[in-house]
Structure 1
Amino acid sequence: MTEADELARRRAGQLPLDLAGAPRFEAEAFLVSPCNRAAFEMISRWPDWPDPALLLLGPAGAGKSHLCAIFAQRSDALFVDPSDLMTPQRLAASPPRAAIVDGLDAVEDETALFHLMNFLRESGASLLLCGRRPPSGETVALPDLLSRLRRAPVVEIGAPDDDLIRAVLEKLLRDRQLLVDPGLVDYLALRLERSLDAARAFVRLLDEEALARGRRVTRALAGELLEALRSS
């Protein structure tokens, strides 16, 4: 949970409902920049992948879940809970065309993941595995699984760059139909945590606070909320 999420939670009793809806995860809503272009292009290439399995790596809030959603729309992929991996027996009756494990770092049953990867490969299915860091001997104890993971191609998403943060802020403000002070986007881009989730949470908080006070979205209001986040 980001700082903006936490502040919004604390003020929930004072704020109106969020009417902007959940974030959109269509391909058209994904903002491509140098930090994520290679990953977006690889997802868009499916099923023309160099290997049935693909590792998508990047920090929290970089857009991995959005790319998972795009891949799921393209491939009708099955989302597999990393904390409760499906066994081949559960999938044998109706093997999926593709599968997604969004949270490689959260997998505890390495043997189950190894068997799942083997089953999907043998059944001709694709597998998208998402994590924050490359698999290594320090993070993966099962040698066979580590070997299999290391053979999979890797695409990485970097932390959002300045251009992407600005583009995301502009889109979020536009989606909420907010008229803002000139220079507000640049002001926020320099001060917010480098995370798409943080940008989304702060714009929601800014919108809610402006509505609650009956005020426009101004740089002064944004600065007040940023200061509240720093002291919370």
Structure 2
Amino acid sequence: MNFAPEPALPLAWPVDLSPDRLAITEANRAAAAWLASPGLWPVPVTLVVGPAGSGKTHLARWFAARSPARVIETADREDPESLFHAWNAATRQAPLLLTSQLIPRDWRHGLPDLASRLAATPLVKLGEPDDELLTAVLGKLFAERGVRVGDDLIRWLVVRIERSLVAAQAVVAALDAAALARRRAITIPLAREVVDGQGEFGF
């Protein structure tokens, strides 16, 4: 029986960022170790900076699940006065975690008192996910769906999809949907059809 080609999938997939799904590898191990010990921070605030898809949100949720912390994402877009008061309200018992794609000197808040607070805030930098992290995330995502795939498929995906955790979530969801629709196993030929047909994966 022949199956008609699947229509293009939507650009946005629901992304599960549950804390217990965080994969820790060399790419984010130092950041996770720092966030795991807020009592050792010089001030009760930390800023995590990294490009889109580098895992800032997932780390932030992992951190918040481990401590009674407040998290402010995309802090560079926050109202400066509100951010200033949030910084001042942070304590050892209730630390504050900020995330941003920009380092503080590129924030356009125009508030000197906030600038001085940010200058005293420890900065944790995340880069794009490396091969080890993408491999671990892809393997975990397939396993959680009950899908068995070969290591060769994961290696093929790692060097072809956009280097972001959101892209990893998206491509696994797309492959699972395509395999179910076409009643095929998830193999490199199927992955080639899906990835080549969906430009948002960053081939």
TM-score using structure 1 length: 0.75
- SS for the counterpart of 1:35 is coil
Write the distance in 1 (CA, Å) between the matches of 2:200 and 2:126. 31
In the other structure, the counterpart of 1:128 is 97
> Any residues of structure 2 matched to 1:147-226 within 5 Å, and which?
147-181=116-150, 183-226=152-195
Partners of 1:146 and 1:159 in 2: how far apart? Answer: 27
CA distance in 2, matches of 1:55, 1:112: 16
Q: Distance in 1 between matches of 2:162 and 2:71?
A: 28
Q: Unaligned 5+ residue runs, structure 1?
A: 1-6, 13-17, 78-98
Q: Structure 1 49/113 Cα, relative in aligned 2: closer, same or farther at 3 Å?
A: same
1:53 aligns with 2:45: yes
How far apart, CA to CA, are the structure 2 residues paired with 1:168 and 1:125? 30
Q: How many aligned residue pairs are there?
A: 194
RMSD (Å), alpha carbons: 2.5
Maintained 8 Å contact 1:35/1:160 = yes
User: Aligned partners of 1:41 and 1:231: how far apart in 2?
Assistant: 32
**SS of equivalent residue, structure 2 residue 26:** coil
Are 1:117 and 2:87 an aligned pair? Answer: yes
Partner of 1:81: none
Query: Which residue in the other structure is 2:64 paired with?
Result: 72
Note if contact 1:36-1:156 (Cα within 8 Å) is conserved in structure 2. Answer: no
Give the counterpart letter for 1:113 in structure 2.
L
- Residue 8, structure 1, aligned to residue 9, structure 2: yes
Unmatched tracts of structure 2, length 5 or more: 1-7
Asked if the contact 1:62/1:196 (under 8 Å) is kept, the reply is: yes
Q: 1:124 to 1:33 in 2, by over 3 A?
A: closer
Contact 1:103/1:129 (<8 A) preserved = yes
Quick one: which amino acid aligns to residue 101 of structure 1?
A: I
Structure 1 equivalent of residue 73 of structure 2:
102
**3-state SS in 2 of match to 1:56:** strand
Identity, % of aligned pairs?
39
| Equivalent-residue separation in structure 2 for 1:102 and 1:225 (angstroms) | 32
